Structure 1
Amino acid sequence: MTRKKDPISQTRGFLYGLAKLLGNISAIQNGTMGKRIARRAVGKATGKLLGKLFK
């Protein structure tokens, strides 16, 4: 049986997703999408590294 998310968590998840989408749109309009992709990749790699380090 899957656990049901509470409404606050669902709302927070929706808002974070919307913020991510709006950030992408803004980056496209400003011509900085490449920087955004690079920063997200670096952040993801750093998170994985730190996760392995402090496991």
Structure 2
Amino acid sequence: MKLNQIRRALYFISRILGDVNAVKRGKVGKRIGRRVAGKTTGKALRRLFK
């Protein structure tokens, strides 16, 4: 297995565990909001530094 594949798998697992934890704590809405904000910020920065 390549290092990138291992890293990708670990990030994927951690994201799922974070989702499960948010559901348990009842903070799903906050997590979704942060994820959307992060994606839009990333897209804006990508356009800015393209």
Q: For structure 2, which runs of at least 5 residues remain unmatched after alignment?
A: none
Moved over 3 A (4+): none
Q: Scaled by the length of structure 2, what TM-score is found?
A: 0.93
Count how many residue pairs are aligned between Structure 1 and Structure 2. Answer: 50
Larger radius of gyration: 1
Could you state the TM-score of these two structures normalised by the residue count of structure 1?
Answer: 0.85
Which structure features the higher share of helix residues?
2
Q: Does 1:34 align with 2:29?
A: yes
Over the aligned positions, Cα root-mean-square deviation in angstroms equals 0.9
